[in-house]
Amino acid sequence: MTERINVTRSSMPPYEEYIEAIKPLWETHWLTNMGTYHKELEQKLAEYLDVPRLSLMVNGHMALELAIQSFDFPEGSEVITTPFTFVSTTHAIVRNRLEPVFCDVKEEDGTIDESKIEELITPKTVAILPVHVYGNVCNVEEIQRIANKYNLKVIYDAAHAFGVKYCDKGIGNYGDVSIFSFHATKVFNTIEGGAVVCKTTEMYEKLYNLKNFGIRGQETVISVGANAKMNEFSAIMGLCNLKHVDEVIEKRMQIYGLYKERIGSISGIRLLKDERKGSNNYAYFPISVGDDYYYSRDDLYSVLKENGINVRKYFYPLTKDLSIYADKYKKTDLKVAQVLSSKVLTLPFFEEMDKDIIDRIYNVMSED
């Protein structure tokens, strides 16, 4: 029986390395509450990502939700964002009792179309929340120009952009705040986890309170907060994976090159633009299925699945088309996002892939 190819596979350090690293936990019994490894990972990630400081969270969603909450926006305020994203982005806005206003995206890379942001700004607008899609960087200069003009905050969802640099700066330095996801499916993972980049000590302290019930001492609670702390097992997984992440990205780069050569040669299949003024973390391999290809996107999805190849309609449907959000918020022109959502597939991509797997995918996709 032919082995099924999954769309991704979690990066993990050598078994013995992780087991050795967690041994001290059996001596200290300190498993959570910002322990030694939590603090060490915060420091080492800030250095690796080239950012001033970051606050570790239990996952990327809570990182985004609490980052938004930290600005204390008035209830009912509007946040301009993209519908071409994982549902977490929209949920984080709505769970803060804010209203998402969906902006169209650019066909070449799926990032928010900065030329369409200004027309969506109203007196209720308080922030712009763009997403660096598949590691492709948004037009950070123009987005910041607009934000400055209208006195808006910029909150970047950088869940896909771990390790990416833009103009020789870590991508987390742009905007007022950026968040990362360290979910098991990401280039770098802590099993589950996330982080908020903090530019000021004030922001770090505010997020500390938000993720730890507002507790600042055994008898002191200074604000209302949630429980969004990363535990020590996850922090140690992060420390171990961080030692190998450059090697992982290097392997993914090689696989990306093989993919680009093979899949990029198929008539009717378009590769999303990956040119940028910076680095690539090779997080995903998205394709757009053209009208001149012999399968529709959905038919190709089914054919690949039938041949034991798991792929993902990433992102479909648009978050604004989900039943919980359909017809609920302001109607905007999302023609490009609708087209992308109907045409994009992300193909299997992980560092253990070899040429044989790529050839198998190519052979299915290139059949008449």
Mean pLDDT over the full length of the chain: 96
Is the separation of the CB atoms in 189 and 183 below 8 Å? yes
Of 274, 280, 288, 286, the residue nearest 253 (C-alpha): 280
Domain parsing of the chain, residue ranges? 15-240, 244-365
How big is the CA angle at 193 (ends 231 and 166), to the nearest 5 degrees?
Answer: 135
Of 368, 289, 255, 338, the residue nearest 5 (C-alpha): 255
Q: Please report, rounded to a whole number, the percentage of residues in the chain having pLDDT higher than 70.
A: 98
> Residue 265 CB: number of other CB atoms within 10 A?
10
The tens digit of pLDDT for each residue in 97-124 reads 999 999 999 999 999 999 999 999 999 9
The tens digit of pLDDT for each residue in 41-63 reads 999 999 999 999 999 999 999 99
Would the pLDDT of 278 be above 90? no
Burial class (CB in 10 A: 0-12, 13-18, 19+), 345: buried
Q: Tell me, yes or no, if the two domains 15-240 and 244-365 fold the same way.
A: no
What's the confidence (pLDDT) of residue 174? 98
3 state SS of 290: coil
What is the arithmetic mean of pLDDT over 123-138? 97
What's the confidence (pLDDT) of residue 279? 81
CA distances from 167 to 139, 147, 187, 272 (A): 12, 20, 21, 21
| Predicted confidence band of residue 273 (pLDDT cuts 50, 70, 90) | confident
CATH 2.30.40.10 fits 15-240, yes or no: no
What is the arithmetic mean of pLDDT over 328-332? 93
What's the confidence (pLDDT) of residue 2? 73
What's the confidence (pLDDT) of residue 127? 98
What's the confidence (pLDDT) of residue 97? 98
What is the arithmetic mean of pLDDT over 313-328? 95
Q: Please report, rounded to a whole number, the percentage of residues in the chain having pLDDT higher than 90.
A: 95
Euclidean distance between CA atoms 32 and 34, whole angstroms: 6
What is the arithmetic mean of pLDDT over 188-211? 96
Residue 160 is encoded by which pair of tokens? 């896909």
Top CATH class, 244-365: alpha beta
Please state the pTM of the whole predicted model. 0.96
Euclidean distance between CA atoms 168 and 281, whole angstroms: 14
Is the separation of the CB atoms in 163 and 188 below 8 Å? yes
Sign of the torsion formed by the C-alpha atoms of 51, 190, 156 and 158: positive
